[in-house]
Amino acid sequence: MSTDSLSLAKMQEVIDTLLGPDGCPWDRKQTPLSLCDYIIEEAFELVSAIRAGDHAETAEELGDVLFLLLFETTLAARAGQFDLGEVVAANAAKMIRRHPHVFGDTVVADQEELLRNWERIKRTEKADAAEDGAQPGAYDSLPKGLPPLLKAYRIHSKAARLGFTWATDQDARAQYDAEWREYETACAHGDQEQMEEEFGDALFTLIELGRRQGIKANAALDRANLKFLARFERMEALARERGLDLPDMPMPDKDRLWAEAKADLKAQAEAKTGG
């Protein structure tokens, strides 16, 4: 048995013990539904660790996510629904079906054709699985609980695979400019509801502009958030070192402290990379 198999078997043994007669009362009360929020929380923590480049934390959070997924599978198996073997086998078969250019004789010219093939295969799978023979909608598989930025990216990505998007980047940019003008008009009229609607339209189009350049809005915004927080924390540290009360400082002084914080963090980053 491989090391990976032994590790998985050990995790399964831990879960079985926790769920056993002498196990943990909290774990024994869990249901597939009650674990959902924990899975989401741990997934966010995993993503944060990966984006922070913290390998030790990433390994720990991967373990937490894997534990919860195996926990879910164990509960399903005990309820007679499915087991881990079925989950793994079904997923492997699905990946083979959806990659005929790797496991079959299909030839694709580029990534766009590859993604179109992926969508066609998914639609065929959904249609075959429908009991009433109904054709599935293009967005039926879009998770309703996705965060809005990620959902917008997925909507645009799928639309592009279906050929329903602007022909050129210039066309998409023109649409964004038009949406922003509509937002500014709404601002001039002071209509709060219209302002929110037009701002959403502009943001939705901006996400598509990023997607066309290989930029995922959710990840880009998270990076900007982290950058701001790091700079602000450095500002606070500088203020404390000098006995200054940051909230009461005049704005010009805050701007100078912000610039210093940016310079400090840039120097630290360059020192780490040898730049």
* Residue 102: predicted pLDDT: 93
**Cα gap 259→263, rounded to integer Å:** 6
How does 171-191 read in b/e, with b if 16+ C-beta sit within 10 Å? ebbebbeebbebbeebeeeee
Please say if the pLDDT value at position 154 is more than 70.
Answer: yes
Please say if the pLDDT value at position 52 is more than 70.
Answer: yes
| pTM of the predicted model as reported, rounded to 2 decimal places | 0.70
3-state secondary structure of 254: helix
Please say if the pLDDT value at position 131 is more than 70.
Answer: no
Please say if the pLDDT value at position 67 is more than 80.
Answer: yes
What integer best gives the mean pLDDT of the chain? Answer: 92
Please say if the pLDDT value at position 96 is more than 80.
Answer: yes
Please say if the pLDDT value at position 132 is more than 70.
Answer: no
- The predicted-structure confidence for 4-49, as pLDDT tens digits, reads as follows 778 899 999 999 999 999 999 999 999 999 999 999 999 999 999 9
Banded model confidence at residue 144, pLDDT cuts 50, 70, 90: confident
Please check whether residue 220 is in contact with residue 228, taking contact to mean a CB–CB distance below 8 angstroms: no
Q: Report percent pLDDT > 90 for the chain.
A: 76
Q: What is the mean pLDDT of residues 51-59?
A: 92
**Cα gap 165→159, rounded to integer Å:** 6
Q: What is the mean pLDDT of residues 85-91?
A: 95
* Residue 256: predicted pLDDT: 95
**Cα gap 64→230, rounded to integer Å:** 27
